[in-house]
Amino acid sequence: MHHEEIKKTVLAALKEDIGAGDITTTLVVGSSHKSKGVILTREDVVLCGMAFAHEVFSLLDPKMEFMAHFKDGDKVKKGASLITLNGKTRAILTGERVALNFLSYLSAIATRTHFFTEAVKPYPVKILDTRKTTPCARPIERYAVRCGGGVNHRFNLHDMVLLKDNHRVISREKEKLSETVRRLHIKTHKKIEIEVDHLWELEEVLKAHPEMVLLDNMTPLELKKAVVMTRKCCPNKPPLLEASGGITLENVKKIAATGVDRISVGSLTHSRKAIDMTLELMG
Amino acid sequence: MHHEEIKKTVLAALKEDIGAGDITTTLVVGSSHKSKGVILTREDVVLCGMAFAHEVFSLLDPKMEFMAHFKDGDKVKKGASLITLNGKTRAILTGERVALNFLSYLSAIATRTHFFTEAVKPYPVKILDTRKTTPCARPIERYAVRCGGGVNHRFNLHDMVLLKDNHRVISREKEKLSETVRRLHIKTHKKIEIEVDHLWELEEVLKAHPEMVLLDNMTPLELKKAVVMTRKCCPNKPPLLEASGGITLENVKKIAATGVDRISVGSLTHSRKAIDMTLELMG
Amino acid sequence: MHHEEIKKTVLAALKEDIGAGDITTTLVVGSSHKSKGVILTREDVVLCGMAFAHEVFSLLDPKMEFMAHFKDGDKVKKGASLITLNGKTRAILTGERVALNFLSYLSAIATRTHFFTEAVKPYPVKILDTRKTTPCARPIERYAVRCGGGVNHRFNLHDMVLLKDNHRVISREKEKLSETVRRLHIKTHKKIEIEVDHLWELEEVLKAHPEMVLLDNMTPLELKKAVVMTRKCCPNKPPLLEASGGITLENVKKIAATGVDRISVGSLTHSRKAIDMTLELMG
Amino acid sequence: MHHEEIKKTVLAALKEDIGAGDITTTLVVGSSHKSKGVILTREDVVLCGMAFAHEVFSLLDPKMEFMAHFKDGDKVKKGASLITLNGKTRAILTGERVALNFLSYLSAIATRTHFFTEAVKPYPVKILDTRKTTPCARPIERYAVRCGGGVNHRFNLHDMVLLKDNHRVISREKEKLSETVRRLHIKTHKKIEIEVDHLWELEEVLKAHPEMVLLDNMTPLELKKAVVMTRKCCPNKPPLLEASGGITLENVKKIAATGVDRISVGSLTHSRKAIDMTLELMG
Amino acid sequence: MHHEEIKKTVLAALKEDIGAGDITTTLVVGSSHKSKGVILTREDVVLCGMAFAHEVFSLLDPKMEFMAHFKDGDKVKKGASLITLNGKTRAILTGERVALNFLSYLSAIATRTHFFTEAVKPYPVKILDTRKTTPCARPIERYAVRCGGGVNHRFNLHDMVLLKDNHRVISREKEKLSETVRRLHIKTHKKIEIEVDHLWELEEVLKAHPEMVLLDNMTPLELKKAVVMTRKCCPNKPPLLEASGGITLENVKKIAATGVDRISVGSLTHSRKAIDMTLELMG
Amino acid sequence: MHHEEIKKTVLAALKEDIGAGDITTTLVVGSSHKSKGVILTREDVVLCGMAFAHEVFSLLDPKMEFMAHFKDGDKVKKGASLITLNGKTRAILTGERVALNFLSYLSAIATRTHFFTEAVKPYPVKILDTRKTTPCARPIERYAVRCGGGVNHRFNLHDMVLLKDNHRVISREKEKLSETVRRLHIKTHKKIEIEVDHLWELEEVLKAHPEMVLLDNMTPLELKKAVVMTRKCCPNKPPLLEASGGITLENVKKIAATGVDRISVGSLTHSRKAIDMTLELMG
């Protein structure tokens, strides 16, 4: 993300959290009082959000020293100090919550993504995110996924053709699937992916020559069969196979073992358990 | 939230998700094709976000019929249909993901809040949220907490005085706590809450006559002692006692039983497991 | 106010005043011509708005020297020079009006507030502003009040409960006042103030135990009686008494003498007489 | 002003005044409760701001009946009811302050302007406003001046050439005034006005053939002399003469009698005494 | 484009053109005066921009009757009336220029695109636009291209991989082209296009198996050779060939005849000759 | 234009062109890789847009060295290098298109304007632009006209009175033209121009004493007659005569020779042929 975008997002977050002024800090701490502060993580974490934390404190005290001990994407152990601050106490106390919110929210996504990418490490498979992101926060959530080693799926509906179940219900009314795909290839330069919900649909789909096939909610056994069928049917340039639906940390390795090329995991972004972090003031 | 705010938020979310256009739907579905669609929940849920879903489809097709079968705050059983849509197929398919994202994200918060309020039902205690919200999304997350039966804590740093650990470290340098509180009561009309991390601090805090006391990270036993000490020390108008830190669905009932007045739970908003919902097209 | 907010406000004011370009200055003054300029006050003033004036000239000439001879809140005598500028003549002439508008408008509020706070100096009473501010300019008008020694009342309708006449008309339909207040204390953590228009209402109000009472449009004699009645009725923790309505520089001292705790004055912000200031160019 | 601009301004004002929600009204008044309300003026007034008041209540309750008994520019007697409202009680109470702020602020400007235009009625002179407006509120303050019978001066620095004292100091360095004006007439299609601070400057200025002359801070006697000198010097197409500086309701008639064409009055907008208006709920 | 986007764009254009008010119309035409007006084209045109024209007049007079005699994409003969208006004269006169600007600007792009698509009609080739659009106006210019029968190229730099000359200079430092493409296919799901400036580069490029090849600034003869070479080299699934650079209405047919699949034409949007249209008032 | 405006415009243009990220550059070029780049013009040009190009690269790499070899308004020969860049390769490649779009678009307008001003050089006539600009881009297009030696016409409808054909149709219903103009001169301080479509209208128009007359769509012979008639009719202070309608590079000199004062040319901005420029990377 461009620095101006980060600044705009952080300003909005600060405005939301400060409202008409941080009355506690203003009334209790002198405007020239200075302190040292340290931000620590209380859990193992794949770090994400440092630029946001930096911006928070720079906006509140342009002279704040911000010493980053790690960078986005680093694996950090529980108890480690992430950032040392040196500057106006008011800025440290007023910015604390917003900075921690960015760090613990984004690191939660990066860390969760990392668990998935670690789990499938032995296999040449990619872990992808989905469009199940918090409304209006997709760019930063997608960035966190990348920090965790994941790969971004299409960013929006303009990025790629994905013929889902519902689209196929409609298009089936007028033409064969291979007709539809041929027509699409002429009208757009985007890649085409087709969703398949049942193994018996796969053959027809493969004949339409999409660049990718989305295998939705299939068991490892079905996925395995789909891989075999695909290799047999398109030996030269087989479409990429993406497994999707109900993927968990428990079953992801088994799914990776089926030979699919990509696994997309909604819970990378739609669910989260914020990382526990804290700011300690050194007086 | 005011309708204009909802519209602005939904427009931004649609823009993010649609980008320069939903190429799949535009290429596959005719612009005058109409369908019926149904949004279903696949889990038991306390519903939240209906106005957002409504706005999504109204913006995409001003003539869309939107039949809501439930309203925000309703408890809905797994499998129930929440909304029936009747209008342009393109609008239904293009809006599907954004509408589901709002509903499953906000309902997740409402439902989780409901679990907490149910757990403490026998006790006259309130479940509160915290400032640990997604940056820039606090108003809607707070609304979801209310739908789940929770009570909102201070909205921002201007709303209330909360002397946290870090503030007390600083203010202790110049004056006694009771002095600080007396001074604050003159300078602001906001209520004052003081954080207490150890039981031995409580007596000094009570003598300062705050309106609320935040008991941070205490065991049920410590909380119980704090309740007793408070009633003894301020029999006429005791401050409200708020328990905070490490509250889970497992321990919340035990904490409610200690007699505290309020329990604030970060995980209402900082963590979440999106509710599984889906849209089915009726052709 | 945060620097980014000041910048945004000043940019909007400059855009409004400059339109598609300051044709006079552009046509008459060379782009590299430099001058010294001085901003003077032609009246005694409590100064307010220096950060805005600074921003005006910085935006028009980033290298402008801006020497402030006083700071916000200072009492300055008629004729004194407030600011010395040294930089591009075009920037000085183009920015003159906007800078003077900010300074004379905000200083008018600060100065008027100061007159009130001076008038009641012998008494331990606070002068407060009201919500009668220029639409969309509340934060800066409230800041000017603070510069004049005043105290800000609730910033907005979310800040505090204030049961005004009209609210009480409605709520009386369903429950007793003390019932209402008890219910409110449970539902919100904000302080509660109740408006009283007639002395005979006061007793019922005091029994409801609000944190503050607003005595609206009462004579000094009535206010005095209200103070006595309150002390008698609630000897331990009496609510703060706020006098309001028809307060002028002529009667404010008499009202302070009645023993009320707070006096809120609409005319601090709703009326004003701009301070006469001028910019002189030194060639 | 265009309706979309009014809506944007009112939305911003409501957001400022309501913050995260009107807690008093929400907690005390039922969401379906309806009332009748009346807005009254407690002073004689030239009315201004009805479209803003209308927008306030429409945004809060789209079904609110808003009966306007007068329109902008009308002269209304003290005690008259201006608007009758019929709709949701919550909307009436939440919108009250913002609606009254717009009405009493804008009517104050219209009424003050009316006093000036009335005072000079016997003379064919125009009352003009100045650029001494509240930052970012010029369009609406200028509209109020028109409602009071005044004429708007240049809207911004792009609207007209006005060679003020400070410009003339600079331009004098390089060329004669008549040279400057000739050059300006070629470079721009805007009218040219020249400020004159002393009678002895007038002759040189008249020879430069500006379309208008600003006579700054002159006594009625000096103004009279200026009028005579101008008519003598330019019998065919004399420039318009504008008196400015220190104009008050006390001296404006004497100044009008001197024969100047225009009188510009800073205090139309830079100072104000808000009109006292109130909203009464009819239960 | 979504209606809210059109409204926002039109509002900004009106604000730009009207400034603080259309003084001519306001001073000359009564506010309730009504007229009929007709918008005519003085050249043959492929129409584009009707929704913008409609929005202009709706914003200025919500009750304006707007009768469209043609729709976007229609071919209209010189002299035909495009729109009949019936409503407030002020709205018609004030909106005239902005409405004409949108219509003649967008129709110019649609008409020019149409000339190109007509010229290549005998061939199965697509006419594409480029990223050479007016800054910040790409969505509407791209829409105009579609109205003229053209196909949109990638909307932005996120839409597709396009290895241009400059990229290849850099990447060549570290790896072979086919290595680069293989790596890219793993890291992104977007299609890959490679620019080729000389025929002797083509073979290496084809071996890298991109989805598209951009043949930049080649003669028809070179393009023909490229087509032959490609078919020979990749008989099964040849990449799409795009001709680009120096395409004019004079040479486009010859280029189409070479057998390339796509021709991208910068001048569709980077150059234009506005269509001459006019509004006539019917009194 | 103010630097903040330029920055805002460039940021919007970059956002439009980059979308969710420049995937090609990110995937192919290392984040710390540096290069030298040169922007060249492939046509003779009057340069315009350097501040925009500078801003593009500063926003993408704050440390980018940007060496400008010419400045806006300079006449530059085909083949000359305009700018040398030295900084992050990613910034150079990602910003290339947006920078070139600004430069070639604005230089096209400046260059075209220059052709017109050169053509009329022997005559004391001014070349003016019109309101036929790209919606929302008027300020920058007007700036380009000035760079090419042209003079800006009224910026918007608030800038000047221009009684066009359609206005005169309406006003004729109620009063004589000279009445209308007299009335306008009282109500506004703006200059007044009147459109004349036929020579026989000119006399009546001259008698109304406007400051300018717009001679629309007249032949050189008619224009010549109009000049003579005007000088005869108003020997002292004749209105400025502006020729308009159908002006081309072919006929402009003949029109200048008629003795009119101003020639307004719609095609300065409504039509354009982008200047061919390119960026070459030096590795």
Q: What angle do CA A248, A252, A257 make, to 5 degrees?
A: 165
Beta strands in F52-91 (DSSP E): 65-68, 75-76, 81-88
Tens of pLDDT, residues D218-229: 999 999 999 999
The residue of chain C nearest to residue A91, with distances taken between CA atoms, is C2
Q: What is the DSSP letter of B272?
A: B
8 A C-beta contact, residue A177 and residue A161: no
Task: Give the C-alpha separation, C65 to C86, whole Å.
Answer: 5
Residue E107, SS3? helix
Chain A residue numbers with beta carbons less than 8 Å from the beta carbon of B159 are: 19
Q: Minimal Cα–Cα distance from C278 to chain D, Å?
A: 11
Which residues of F are less than 8 Å from C60 in CB distance? 2
Q: What is the pLDDT of residue C189?
A: 81
Which residue of chain E has the CA closest to A125? E186
Cβ of E134 and F105 within 8 Å? Answer: yes
Average pLDDT of span E136-156:
95
What mean pLDDT, rounded, does chain C reach? 94
Where does chain E have alpha helices with state H?
A: 3-18, 23-28, 50-60, 89-119, 138-147, 165-172, 177-187, 199-207, 220-233, 252-256, 267-270
Which among C186, C193, C237 has the least Cβ separation from residue B237? C237
For the cut 90, the answer to whether the pLDDT of residue F237 exceeds it is no
List the single residue in C151, C189, C236 with the smallest CB-CB distance to B212: C189
Q: How far apart are CA B51 and CA B71, in angstroms?
A: 9
Q: Which chains touch B (3 or more CB pairs under 8 A)?
A: A, C, D, E
Residue F54: is its pLDDT beyond 70? yes
D80-to-C247, D40, D76, D83, D277 alpha-carbon distances in Å: 24, 6, 7, 9, 10
Query: How many other C-beta atoms can be found within 10 angstroms of the C-beta atom of residue F272?
Result: 25
* Per-residue pLDDT at A186: 81
Per DSSP (E only), the strands in F93-182 are 126-128, 161-163
> What's the gap in Å between the CA of D281 and the closest CA on chain B?
23
Burial of D84: CB neighbours in 10 Å, binned 0-12, 13-18, 19+:
middle
- State residue F77 phi and psi, 5-degree precision: -85, 150
pLDDT of the residue at F141: 97
Amino acid at E48: C
Could you give phi then psi for residue F165, rounded to 5 degrees?
Answer: -40, -55
E76: pLDDT strictly greater than 90: yes
Q: What is the pLDDT of residues D135-171, one digit of tens each?
A: 999 999 999 999 999 999 999 999 999 999 889 888 8
CA of A8: which chain C residue's CA is closest? C4
CA-closest candidate to residue A7, choices A48, A66, A52, A72: A52
Residues of B with CB below 8 A from C187's CB? 151
Band of pLDDT at residue A254, cut at 50, 70 and 90 = very high
Do D159 and F160 lie within an 8 Å CB cutoff? no
What does the pLDDT read at residue F283? 64
Whether the per-residue pLDDT at C11 is higher than 70: the answer is yes
Do C155 and A14 make contact, defined as CB atoms within 8 angstroms? no
Among all residues of chain E, which has the CA nearest to that of D154?
Answer: E20
pLDDT value at position D283? 64
CB count in 10 Å sphere of residue F250: 8
Position D173 pLDDT exceeds 80:
no
Which residues, 6+ apart, have CB-to-CB distance to C263 below 8 Å?
A: C116, C120, C125, C126, C127, C128, C242, C243, C244, C247, C252, C255, C256
Residue B48 token pair? 């939240």
What are the pLDDT digits (tens) for C193-224? 999 999 999 999 999 999 999 999 999 999 99
Residue A155: its chain E contacts at CB < 8 A?
Answer: 158
pLDDT at F175: 83
From edge to edge, which strands make up the β-sheet containing B126-128? B126-128, B262-264, B240-244, B212-216, B192-196, B161-163
pLDDT at A185: 84
Q: Is E197 exposed, middle or buried (0-12, 13-18, 19+ CB in 10 A)?
A: middle
Verify whether residue F195 is a known catalytic residue. yes
C-beta of residue F88 within 8 angstroms of C-beta of residue F33: yes
pLDDT tens-digit profile of B159-214? 999 999 889 888 877 788 889 998 888 888 889 999 999 999 999 999 999 999 99
- Domains observed in chain E: 3-116+272-281 (3.90.1170.20), 118-270 (3.20.20.70)
Nearest-by-CA chain F residue for D162: F189
For the stretch D196-221, pLDDT in tens is 999 999 999 999 999 999 999 999 99
Q: For residue range E179-220, what is the model confidence (pLDDT) as tens digits? A: 999 888 888 888 999 999 999 999 999 999 999 999 999 999
Question: Is the pLDDT assigned to residue B246 strictly greater than 70?
Answer: yes
Residues of F in contact with C59 (CB under 8 A): 2, 4
Look at residue E282 in the predicted model and tell me its pLDDT: 85
Q: What DSSP string runs through E47-63?
A: ---HHHHHHHHHHH-TT
Mark yes or no for CB contact A163/B24 under 8 Å: yes
pLDDT in tens, D233-264: 988 889 999 999 999 999 999 999 999 999 99
Which parts of D134-217 fold into alpha helices (H)?
A: 138-147, 165-172, 177-187, 199-207
> In chain D, which residues have their Cβ closer than 8 Å to the Cβ of B139?
20
Residues of B in contact with A266 (CB under 8 A): 274
Average pLDDT on C75-95 reads: 97
Which pLDDT belongs to residue B171?
81
Contact present, E52 and E106 (Cβ < 8 Å): yes
- Beta strands D65-68; F65-68: pairing state: unpaired
* Residue D237 bears catalytic tag: no
| Model pLDDT for residues A88-114, shown as the tens digit of each residue | 999 999 999 999 999 999 999 999 999
**Residue of D17, D43, D197, D216 marked catalytic:** D216
pLDDT at B167: 92
Average pLDDT over residues F153-180: 89
Is the predicted pLDDT of residue C188 greater than 90, yes or no?
Answer: no
Does residue F173 have an active-site annotation?
Answer: no
Chain A neighbors of E160, CB-CB under 8 A? 189-190
As a whole number, mean pLDDT of residues B104-126 equals: 97
State the chains in contact with F (3 or more Cβ–Cβ pairs under 8 Å).
A, C, D, E
* Residues F189, D155: C-beta atoms closer than 8 Å: no
Interchain proximity A187–E160, CB inside 8 Å: no
Which is the catalytic residue, given F193, F195, F242, F261? F195
Q: What is the pLDDT of residue E283?
A: 64
Q: Tens digit of pLDDT for each residue in E262-282?
A: 999 999 999 999 999 999 998
Annotated catalytic residue: which of B74, B216, B222, B276?
B216
pLDDT of residue F227: 97
E19, E20, E59 member nearest D4 (Cβ): E59
Catalytic residue IDs of E = 97, 132, 164, 195, 216
pLDDT digits (tens, 9 = 90+) for A177-212: 888 998 888 888 889 999 999 999 999 999 999 999
Q: What is the pLDDT of residue C50?
A: 98
Half-sphere exposure in the Cβ direction for D21 (13 Å, CA): 16
Among D78, D79, D96, residue whose Cα is nearest residue D87: D96
Tokens of A34: 């200075």
Cβ-based contacts of D151 with chain F (< 8 Å): 187
CA distance E132 to chain F (A): 6
Going by pLDDT thresholds of 50, 70 and 90, the confidence category of residue A283 is low
Q: Which entry of F42, F63, F164, F182 is annotated as an active-site residue?
A: F164
Active-site option among C44, C211, C216, C276 = C216
* Candidate from F29-43, F177-191, F227-241, F262-276 with smallest mean pLDDT: F177-191
Å between A51 CA and nearest CA of chain C: 18
User: What is the average pLDDT value for chain F, to the nearest integer?
Assistant: 94
Catalytic site residue D78?
A: no
- Nearest residue, CB atoms, B4 vs list D11, D19, D20: D11
User: Is the ipTM, as predicted for this complex, more than 0.85?
Assistant: yes
Interface of A with F (CB under 8 A): 2, 4, 139, 142, 155-156
Report CB contact under 8 Å: F151, D187.
yes
Whether E4 and B19 lie within 8 Å, measured CB to CB: no
Q: Which residues on chain B are in Cβ contact (under 8 Å) with D59?
A: 2, 4
Contact yes or no for A139 and F59 at CB 8 A: no
- The alpha carbon of residue A34 is apart from the nearest alpha carbon of chain B, in Å, by 10
The pLDDT of residue E1 is above 90: no
Report d(CA F27, CA F22) in Å as an integer: 9
Best residue of A11, A31, A90, A94 to probe chain C, by most C CBs closer than 10 Å: A11
